[in-house]
Structure 1
Amino acid sequence: MADSAAGGEASILITVEFTGGLEMLFSNERKHPIVLPPRLDDGSRPNITYLLQHLVEHVMRDQRKALFIMEDNVRPGILVLINDTDWELEGEEKYELQQGDNIVFVSTLHGG
């Protein structure tokens, strides 16, 4: 039986993947299982904005936060896919995370 949070709702389990070099910021691991609360302190569901903050605070081991986040959003040049769909079609940072979601961050920036 899954652990339940207050109100009887189960935690949200998602998978986050990093490619295109971003994995180096996350302990050189490409896939990370992430467990999130079903509701935030204000009663809302966790969204991509919350996930970004969670990743930087709890998963990222590299100190170079600016290579991933700029002004509290994904740095330009990083493609975000939500279940294989461009996040622009899903509401970008406002997308509310669902059980089993697969979120992929792909760096499109290359040295030259």
Structure 2
Amino acid sequence: MKINLEFRGGAELLVNNVSQHSVDLDGSKWTIASLLEWIKTNLIQERPELFLQGGSVRPGILVLVNDADWELLGQLDYELQEGDSILFISTLHGG
């Protein structure tokens, strides 16, 4: 299954400064929860605690699935579909 991942608002710093990723996932059933584990293992270069907390994204990271807030789609339980676009936007900024 092919999906697109995008990291913005500073989240791209956690994935080697590459904001867009086209990903081919093996198997047929993937949820956002399993995708987050895949991202932690395969994309995050260092300090995964800046992206993940307790099995989910940290507070302050907005997640959109096909331009819709993931909270409307079941968050971690949303089952990914072929061609989905998942966008992670960090709203946390230092000062």
TM range (shorter): over 0.9
**Secondary structure, counterpart of 1:24 in structure 2:** helix
Residue 3 (structure 2) aligned to one of 14, 34, 40: 14
Unaligned runs of 5+ in 1: 1-11, 40-44
**Secondary structure, counterpart of 1:109 in structure 2:** coil
Percent identity over paired residues: 47
Residue 84 (structure 1) aligned to one of 64, 67, 72: 67
**Secondary structure, counterpart of 1:66 in structure 2:** helix
**Secondary structure, counterpart of 2:13 in structure 1:** helix
Q: Does 1:46 align with 2:57?
A: no
Larger Rg: 1
Deviation of residue 37 (structure 1)?
2.0
TM-score (normalised: structure 2)? 0.96
Aligned twin of 1:28: 17
* Deviation >6 Å, runs of 4+: none
Higher RCO (C-alpha under 8 Å, 6+ residues apart): 2
Residue 43 (structure 2) aligned to one of 53, 59, 69: 59
TM-score (normalised: structure 1)? 0.82
